[in-house]
Amino acid sequence: MPQGARRQGVKLMHLEPALQQRTMALSALALRWLTHLFLLRSGRATLSIDGEEHRIDAPALALMPPAEGRRLILEAGARGSLLSVAGEQLSSALGDEPETPALRSMLSTFTLAPDLPAPLIARLEMLISLLSDEQDEERPAVDMAVDALLRLVCLSFWRVVGSFETGGGPGGDGLSVLQHFRQLVEAEFRRHRPIAYYADRLGITPDRLHAIATRHLKRSPLELVHDRLLQEALQRLERSPASVQTISDSLNFKDPAHFSRFVKRKTGHAPAQYRQLFRQAAERQEASLSFHYHEWP
């Protein structure tokens, strides 16, 4: 991979105070697979997620995983930073450490952290400033530096939201079980494990896991695993130049035909057709889409 190529998976915006309200769409085709970390330094903002609005007052942090219908509305005078990161960049930054599954689980959940302490604000501002410097300069080992800084940003947020707390063991309430299940899925979804494998790792029966998932999320465990697998497949079809067979192999499908049937069943289109349709739609949007994400009122 060319030096600095992975930095294309990181977008950083410094949002300075303005005289009017600003609205930013975060779910356009080119942006919908990005994870957004928003630091509100001063003023007020509103996060709209699938039509549900969340008002926040500075100082605050918000984590927005890939999803449809995300919008950030900044009130006049608000100031902050928006860090947007592609999935492959996050994977590179998080690596394969014992804490990685828990970090991935955190990054897959919409989270607000209000009333941030001043030392944390200062730490995040320093890390964001260093990230901005690395983005703007061509230096030796710049990709390694970006990965390290992103990892520190994620760890800082993890500490804020209490993710070092396990939330109880697998035998606890349903939400605790789902948290552990989500961590396991993030680590294992490429291996096409049966649901019995996850249930065994959680220390519960498959029926119990099914009951918890359907009660809290209205989705079966198998649907949740397939959702994660599909998300990864579509991200690669949209963002990677790799062939369909290469993507199929990387996701451990037994053959490209099986991969094609999976994608077509979920989207209505075979992988190559999906990729072509996406690129056509992205080209149509390109003229009106700014990398500043603004939709001026």
Is 224's pLDDT higher than 60? yes
Q: Is 55 helix (H, G, I), strand (E, B) or coil?
A: strand
pLDDT of residue 151: 92
- Which are the contacts of 106, defined by CB distance < 8 A and separation ≥ 6? 63, 154, 157, 158, 161, 163
The predicted-structure confidence for 114-135, as pLDDT tens digits, reads as follows: 888 888 888 988 998 898 888 7
User: DSSP secondary-structure letter at 161?
Assistant: T
How many CB atoms neighbour CB 235 within 10 A?
18
- What whole-number distance in Å separates Cα of residue 222 and Cα of residue 189? 10
pTM of the model: 0.66
Q: Where are the domains of the chain?
A: 5-160, 168-219, 220-284
Helix count (H) and strand count (E) of the chain? 11, 9
Q: Which token pair is 125?
A: 């501002």
pLDDT of residue 173: 57
* Residue-by-residue DSSP string for 133-165: HHHH---TTHHHHHHHHHHHHHHHHHHHTTTTS
Q: 81 and 39 in contact (C-beta within 8 Å)?
A: yes
Q: Which token pair is 69?
A: 């219908």
- What whole-number distance in Å separates Cα of residue 214 and Cα of residue 204? 15
**CATH fold label, 5-160:** Jelly Rolls (2.60.120)
The predicted-structure confidence for 6-46, as pLDDT tens digits, reads as follows: 456 788 888 999 999 999 888 777 677 889 999 999 999 99
Check: CATH 3.90.1200.10 for 220-284? no
